[in-house]
């Protein structure tokens, strides 16, 4: 469809020079994306609580390396569709969105790259549609096939008297109340709490757990922004969530049991395409999912390389853009031609 972005949107200073905004129709609604470059398609999928903007450093680097880099706003974020029902944020819907984007762009195949929840979405897109997603790069969150007990039951057993953040996010309206009271401040604290240079010390209470009658933000660090995040960049993120609200983003967490049921046929299934993993050494995801990393020889038999960046937290492609760009382009360049 024609690009419907307004002049103010296409001229926004946060857009990398040479990139353009588009809205494309997919079966589930519309997806907003930012694209740059020409060549083999590389689809970039963000996590929580971010947007296409988390790939602002990768778009020009991948374009310069000869790729068509496309960063989407996942449904519920930014200018993409925000369906009202919780179940419309199940994993199968996100996979369908990615398939629809590739088709809307006139392509038949793509390499998919994801961070945080986007890592899970990228992995499941490649798992369910290996004909279309011929390689996958996973950032921050390692691949773990469907398995184990029902996710909400497992999360409920974590933390003792305190509540694991994924459990805290399950009830509609609960996390929204604390976020919407101060969107910019909440985002600043969440980004800082998971960033390598500003996260709490290991001996401090974990911000991933909510004390009884408390809020998630009660343990956010008080201090400066992470080095990778300027005031203007925070303003952009806050502006997106001020406009859209956080419910669509939080609804991804509210589908973990539904995903577990939907993907029963893929229980324990490895991801066999060529793959790449990049994580931050200080990211708690690697500690919680150490077994998933250990099992890569079985679960990711096509793994080309796994890189753990020392001193880096959760926001790998923003905390270490140059390193991630180099690792991504070297991996992409070595993939079989498609």
Q: 10 Å Cβ neighbour count for 278?
A: 25
* Residue 116 known to be catalytic: yes
* Residue 21 known to be catalytic: no
**DSSP H helices in 53-203:** 58-64, 91-104, 117-128, 151-156, 165-168, 174-180, 183-193
Q: From CA 113, how far away is CA 328, in angstroms rounded?
A: 9
Q: 10 Å Cβ neighbour count for 29?
A: 16
Q: Give SS3 for 238.
A: helix
Catalytic residue among 73, 97, 116, 283: 116
Catalytic residue among 21, 32, 46, 314: 314
Backbone angles phi, psi at 160, to 5 degrees: 65, -120
Q: From CA 19, how far away is CA 222, in angstroms rounded?
A: 35
> Contact 335/274 with Cβ under 8 angstroms?
yes
Nearest CA to 271 among 249, 252, 295?
A: 295
Q: From CA 14, how far away is CA 36, in angstroms rounded?
A: 14
**In angstroms, how far is CA 268 from the centroid of its own chain?**
22
Sequence-ordered list of residues with C-beta below 8 angstroms from that of 9, at least 6 positions apart, any chain: 21
Q: From CA 146, how far away is CA 328, in angstroms rounded?
A: 26
Q: From CA 211, how far away is CA 163, in angstroms rounded?
A: 7
Q: From CA 225, how far away is CA 4, in angstroms rounded?
A: 34
**In angstroms, how far is CA 35 from the centroid of its own chain?**
17
Q: Which residues are catalytic?
A: 116, 314
């Amino acid at each position: 469809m024609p690009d419907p972005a307004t002049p103010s949107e296409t001229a926004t200073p946060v857009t990398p020079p040479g990139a353009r905004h588009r809205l494309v129709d997919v079966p589930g609604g519309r997806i907003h994306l930012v694209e740059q470059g020409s060549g083999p398609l590389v689809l970039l999928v963000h996590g929580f609580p971010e947007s296409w903007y988390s790939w602002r450093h990768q778009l020009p680097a991948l374009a310069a390396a000869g790729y068509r880099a496309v960063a989407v706003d996942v449904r519920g974020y930014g200018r993409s569709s925000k369906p009202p029902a919780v179940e419309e944020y199940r994993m199968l819907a996100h996979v369908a969105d990615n398939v629809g984007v590739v088709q809307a762009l006139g392509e038949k195949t793509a390499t998919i790259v994801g961070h945080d929840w986007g890592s899970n979405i990228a992995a499941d897109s490649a798992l369910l549609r290996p004909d279309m997603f011929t390689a996958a790069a996973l950032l921050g969150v390692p691949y773990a096939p469907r398995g184990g007990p029902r996710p909400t039951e497992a999360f409920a057993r974590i933390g003792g008297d305190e509540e694991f953040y994924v459990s805290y996010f399950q009830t509609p309206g609960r996390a929204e109340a604390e976020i919407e009271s101060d969107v910019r401040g909440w985002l600043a604290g969440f980004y800082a709490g998971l960033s390598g240079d500003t996260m709490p010390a290991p001996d401090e209470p974990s911000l991933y757990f909510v004390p009884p009658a408390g809020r998630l933000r009660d343990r956010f660090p008080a201090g400066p922004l992470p080095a990778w995040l300027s005031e203007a960049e925070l303003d952009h993120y806050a502006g997106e969530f001020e406009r859209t609200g956080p419910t669509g983003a939080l609804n991804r967490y509210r589908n973990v049991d539904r995903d577990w049921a939907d993907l029963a046929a893929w229980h324990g299934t490895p991801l066999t395409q060529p793959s790449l993993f990049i994580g931050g050494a200080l990211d708690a995801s690697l500690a919680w999912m150490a077994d998933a990393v250990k099992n890569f020889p079985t679960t990711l038999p096509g793994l080309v390389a796994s890189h753990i960046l020392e001193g880096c937290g959760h926001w790998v492609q923003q905390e270490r853009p140059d390193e991630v760009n180099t690792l991504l382009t070297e991996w992409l360049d070595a993939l079989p031609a498609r």
